[in-house]
Protein backbone atom coordinates (compact mmCIF):
# COMPACT_ATOMS: atom_id res chain seq x y z
CA UNK A 1 0.00 0.00 0.00
CA UNK A 2 1.20 3.47 -0.89
CA UNK A 3 0.36 6.45 1.29
CA UNK A 4 0.29 10.08 0.20
CA UNK A 5 -0.11 12.81 2.81
CA UNK A 6 -1.57 16.13 1.69
CA UNK A 7 -0.28 18.84 4.00
CA UNK A 8 -0.33 22.58 4.46
CA UNK A 9 -0.12 24.46 7.69
CA UNK A 10 -2.22 27.21 6.06
CA UNK A 11 -5.96 26.83 5.61
CA UNK A 12 -7.76 27.30 2.32
CA UNK A 13 -5.08 25.86 0.06
CA UNK A 14 -7.27 23.12 -1.42
CA UNK A 15 -6.07 20.03 0.46
CA UNK A 16 -9.46 18.30 0.47
CA UNK A 17 -10.16 19.15 -3.16
CA UNK A 18 -6.81 17.69 -4.15
CA UNK A 19 -7.26 14.56 -2.03
CA UNK A 20 -10.72 13.77 -3.40
CA UNK A 21 -9.86 14.42 -7.03
CA UNK A 22 -6.75 12.25 -6.87
CA UNK A 23 -8.72 9.57 -5.04
CA UNK A 24 -11.35 9.37 -7.77
CA UNK A 25 -8.68 9.40 -10.49
CA UNK A 26 -6.88 6.50 -8.81
CA UNK A 27 -10.15 4.65 -8.27
CA UNK A 28 -10.98 4.95 -11.97
CA UNK A 29 -7.50 3.66 -12.78
CA UNK A 30 -8.30 0.44 -10.94
CA UNK A 31 -6.79 1.06 -7.53
CA UNK A 32 -8.46 0.35 -4.23
CA UNK A 33 -8.44 3.77 -2.61
CA UNK A 34 -9.10 5.14 0.84
CA UNK A 35 -9.13 8.78 1.93
CA UNK A 36 -8.28 9.21 5.61
CA UNK A 37 -9.91 12.43 6.81
CA UNK A 38 -7.91 13.83 9.73
CA UNK A 39 -9.47 17.30 9.53
CA UNK A 40 -11.95 17.99 12.37
CA UNK A 41 -14.12 19.87 9.84
CA UNK A 42 -14.52 16.50 8.04
CA UNK A 43 -15.18 18.08 4.64
CA UNK A 44 -14.04 14.97 2.78
CA UNK A 45 -16.40 12.86 4.88
CA UNK A 46 -19.29 15.24 4.17
CA UNK A 47 -18.58 14.87 0.44
CA UNK A 48 -18.70 11.10 0.79
CA UNK A 49 -22.05 11.33 2.57
CA UNK A 50 -23.69 12.83 -0.53
CA UNK A 51 -21.80 10.76 -3.08
CA UNK A 52 -23.74 8.08 -4.97
CA UNK A 53 -20.89 5.77 -6.10
CA UNK A 54 -19.60 3.56 -3.31
CA UNK A 55 -15.96 4.24 -4.11
CA UNK A 56 -13.55 5.64 -3.17
CA UNK A 57 -13.91 5.04 0.54
CA UNK A 58 -13.55 7.98 2.93
CA UNK A 59 -13.19 7.58 6.67
CA UNK A 60 -13.05 10.24 9.35
CA UNK A 61 -10.37 9.32 11.87
CA UNK A 62 -9.36 10.85 15.19
CA UNK A 63 -5.61 11.60 15.22
CA UNK A 64 -5.01 9.02 17.92
CA UNK A 65 -6.45 6.29 15.67
CA UNK A 66 -4.50 7.27 12.57
CA UNK A 67 -1.96 4.44 12.57
CA UNK A 68 -4.67 1.88 13.36
CA UNK A 69 -6.62 3.18 10.36
CA UNK A 70 -3.61 2.68 8.09
CA UNK A 71 -3.12 -0.85 9.39
CA UNK A 72 -6.79 -1.63 8.76
CA UNK A 73 -6.60 -0.18 5.26
CA UNK A 74 -3.62 -2.34 4.38
CA UNK A 75 -5.30 -5.42 5.82
CA UNK A 76 -8.39 -4.68 3.71
CA UNK A 77 -6.38 -4.63 0.49
CA UNK A 78 -6.26 -0.86 -0.04
CA UNK A 79 -3.53 -0.02 -2.56
CA UNK A 80 -3.52 3.77 -2.14
CA UNK A 81 -4.30 5.88 0.91
CA UNK A 82 -4.60 9.65 0.65
CA UNK A 83 -4.40 11.50 3.96
CA UNK A 84 -6.30 14.79 4.19
CA UNK A 85 -4.93 16.82 7.08
CA UNK A 86 -6.02 19.93 8.95
CA UNK A 87 -4.16 23.25 8.93
CA UNK A 88 -2.38 24.48 12.06
CA UNK A 89 -1.89 20.93 13.35
CA UNK A 90 1.82 20.29 13.42
CA UNK A 91 1.77 17.09 15.48
CA UNK A 92 -0.91 15.44 13.33
CA UNK A 93 0.67 16.65 10.10
CA UNK A 94 4.05 15.36 11.22
CA UNK A 95 2.56 11.93 11.97
CA UNK A 96 0.92 11.89 8.53
CA UNK A 97 4.18 12.85 6.83
CA UNK A 98 6.15 10.19 8.73
CA UNK A 99 3.66 7.51 7.66
CA UNK A 100 3.59 8.61 4.02
CA UNK A 101 5.63 7.52 1.04
CA UNK A 102 5.53 11.10 -0.15
CA UNK A 103 3.89 14.43 0.65
CA UNK A 104 1.94 16.82 -1.56
CA UNK A 105 1.70 20.46 -0.50
CA UNK A 106 -1.03 22.44 -2.29
CA UNK A 107 -0.20 26.12 -2.61
CA UNK A 108 -2.08 29.07 -4.08
CA UNK A 109 -0.26 31.97 -5.67
CA UNK A 110 -0.94 34.67 -3.05
CA UNK A 111 1.78 36.23 -0.95
CA UNK A 112 0.46 34.76 2.31
CA UNK A 113 0.23 31.30 0.76
CA UNK A 114 3.80 31.39 -0.51
CA UNK A 115 5.25 32.66 2.77
CA UNK A 116 3.33 30.00 4.71
CA UNK A 117 5.14 27.26 2.81
CA UNK A 118 8.12 27.73 5.11
CA UNK A 119 6.41 26.14 8.11
CA UNK A 120 5.25 23.16 6.10
CA UNK A 121 8.68 22.78 4.51
CA UNK A 122 10.30 22.57 7.95
CA UNK A 123 7.79 19.95 9.05
CA UNK A 124 8.38 17.79 5.98
CA UNK A 125 12.15 18.11 6.32
CA UNK A 126 12.02 16.93 9.91
CA UNK A 127 9.86 13.97 8.83
CA UNK A 128 12.46 13.04 6.22
CA UNK A 129 10.01 12.37 3.42
CA UNK A 130 10.03 13.54 -0.22
CA UNK A 131 7.60 16.38 -0.85
CA UNK A 132 6.27 18.26 -3.84
CA UNK A 133 4.41 21.55 -4.06
CA UNK A 134 1.26 21.42 -6.17
CA UNK A 135 0.30 24.89 -7.35
CA UNK A 136 -3.44 25.24 -7.06
CA UNK A 137 -6.16 27.69 -8.09
CA UNK A 138 -3.93 29.62 -10.47
CA UNK A 139 -5.52 32.11 -12.90
CA UNK A 140 -6.15 30.22 -16.18
CA UNK A 141 -4.26 32.77 -18.24
CA UNK A 142 -1.47 33.42 -15.76
CA UNK A 143 1.67 31.84 -17.26
CA UNK A 144 3.77 34.60 -15.73
CA UNK A 145 2.14 33.98 -12.36
CA UNK A 146 3.15 30.32 -12.45
CA UNK A 147 6.72 31.29 -13.27
CA UNK A 148 6.78 33.89 -10.51
CA UNK A 149 5.34 31.64 -7.81
CA UNK A 150 7.68 28.79 -8.80
CA UNK A 151 10.63 31.13 -8.33
CA UNK A 152 9.19 32.43 -5.05
CA UNK A 153 9.07 28.99 -3.41
CA UNK A 154 12.43 27.83 -4.75
CA UNK A 155 14.19 29.00 -1.60
CA UNK A 156 12.36 26.43 0.53
CA UNK A 157 14.20 23.54 -1.08
CA UNK A 158 11.06 21.72 -2.19
CA UNK A 159 10.39 20.27 -5.61
CA UNK A 160 7.29 21.30 -7.54
CA UNK A 161 4.88 19.01 -9.37
CA UNK A 162 5.02 19.47 -13.15
CA UNK A 163 1.23 19.80 -13.35
CA UNK A 164 -0.57 22.83 -11.87
CA UNK A 165 -4.28 23.22 -11.17
CA UNK A 166 -6.11 26.36 -12.23
CA UNK A 167 -9.27 28.19 -11.23
CA UNK A 168 -11.99 26.05 -12.81
CA UNK A 169 -15.65 26.25 -11.82
CA UNK A 170 -16.07 22.51 -12.18
CA UNK A 171 -13.72 21.81 -9.25
CA UNK A 172 -16.14 23.42 -6.81
CA UNK A 173 -19.39 22.59 -8.61
CA UNK A 174 -18.52 18.92 -8.76
CA UNK A 175 -17.83 18.59 -5.05
CA UNK A 176 -21.23 20.03 -4.11
CA UNK A 177 -22.77 17.22 -6.16
CA UNK A 178 -20.71 14.48 -4.52
CA UNK A 179 -18.54 14.20 -7.60
CA UNK A 180 -15.17 15.38 -8.87
CA UNK A 181 -14.36 17.42 -11.94
CA UNK A 182 -13.51 14.37 -14.05
CA UNK A 183 -17.02 13.04 -13.40
CA UNK A 184 -18.86 16.36 -13.53
CA UNK A 185 -17.25 17.55 -16.76
CA UNK A 186 -15.17 14.68 -18.21
CA UNK A 187 -13.91 16.63 -21.22
CA UNK A 188 -13.21 19.83 -19.30
CA UNK A 189 -9.85 21.40 -18.55
CA UNK A 190 -10.10 20.63 -14.83
CA UNK A 191 -10.47 16.93 -15.64
CA UNK A 192 -7.46 17.12 -17.94
CA UNK A 193 -5.34 18.77 -15.25
CA UNK A 194 -6.25 16.15 -12.66
CA UNK A 195 -5.55 13.35 -15.14
CA UNK A 196 -2.09 14.77 -15.80
CA UNK A 197 -1.36 15.21 -12.09
CA UNK A 198 -2.54 11.69 -11.27
CA UNK A 199 -0.48 10.17 -14.09
CA UNK A 200 2.61 11.93 -12.73
CA UNK A 201 1.86 10.83 -9.16
CA UNK A 202 1.20 7.23 -10.17
CA UNK A 203 4.50 7.02 -12.04
CA UNK A 204 6.29 8.51 -9.04
CA UNK A 205 4.76 6.00 -6.62
CA UNK A 206 5.53 3.05 -8.86
CA UNK A 207 9.19 4.07 -8.81
CA UNK A 208 9.27 3.76 -5.00
d(CA 50, CA 35): 15
Q: How far apart are CA 83 and CA 151, in angstroms?
A: 28
pLDDT at residue 145 greater than cutoff 80: no
The closest alpha carbon to 17, from 168, 206, 196, 203, belongs to: 168
Residues 107-128 as b/e (b if ≥16 CB within 10 A, e otherwise) read bbbeeebbebbebbbebbeebe
The mean pLDDT of 155-161, rounded to a whole number, is: 85
State residue 139's pLDDT score.
Answer: 86
Contacts for 75-80: CB closer than 8 Å, 24+ residues apart: 76/32, 77/32, 78/1, 78/32, 78/33, 78/34, 79/1, 79/2, 79/31, 79/32, 79/33, 80/1, 80/2, 80/3, 80/4, 80/23, 80/26, 80/31, 80/32, 80/33, 80/34, 80/205
Give the least confident one: 9-23, 101-115, 119-133, 159-173. 101-115
* Segment among 11-15, 71-75, 151-155, 199-203 with least mean pLDDT: 151-155
Do 85 and 9 meet the contact criterion of CB atoms below 8 Å apart?
A: no
Share of the chain above pLDDT 70, in %: 99
Edge-to-edge, what's the strand order for the sheet holding 80-84?
57-60, 33-37, 80-84, 2-6, 102-107, 131-135, 159-160
Residues pairing with 107 in the sheet: 135
What pLDDT score does 22 carry? 98
- Inform me whether the pLDDT recorded for 69 exceeds 90: yes
Indicate the length of the chain as a whole number.
Answer: 208
Q: What pLDDT is recorded for position 142? A: 62
- Mean of the per-residue pLDDT values for the chain? 92
Q: Does pLDDT of 143 surpass 70?
A: no
Query: The domain that contains 74 carries what CATH number?
Result: 3.40.50.300
pLDDT at residue 183, rounded to an integer: 97
- Residue 83's pLDDT is 98
Number of domains in the chain: 1
CA end-to-end distance (rounded Å), the chain? 11
Structure confidence by residue, pLDDT tens digits, 75-113:
999 999 999 999 888 899 999 999 999 999 999 887 778
Query: Which has more pLDDT, 89 or 37?
Result: 37
Domain membership of residue 80 as a residue range: 2-206
Amino acid sequence: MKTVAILSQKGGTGKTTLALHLAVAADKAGETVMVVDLDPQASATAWKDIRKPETPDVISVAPGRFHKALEAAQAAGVTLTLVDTAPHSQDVSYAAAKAADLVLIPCRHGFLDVTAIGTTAQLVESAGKPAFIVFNHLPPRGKNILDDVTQAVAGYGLKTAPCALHQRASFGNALTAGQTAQEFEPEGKAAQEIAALHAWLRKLLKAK
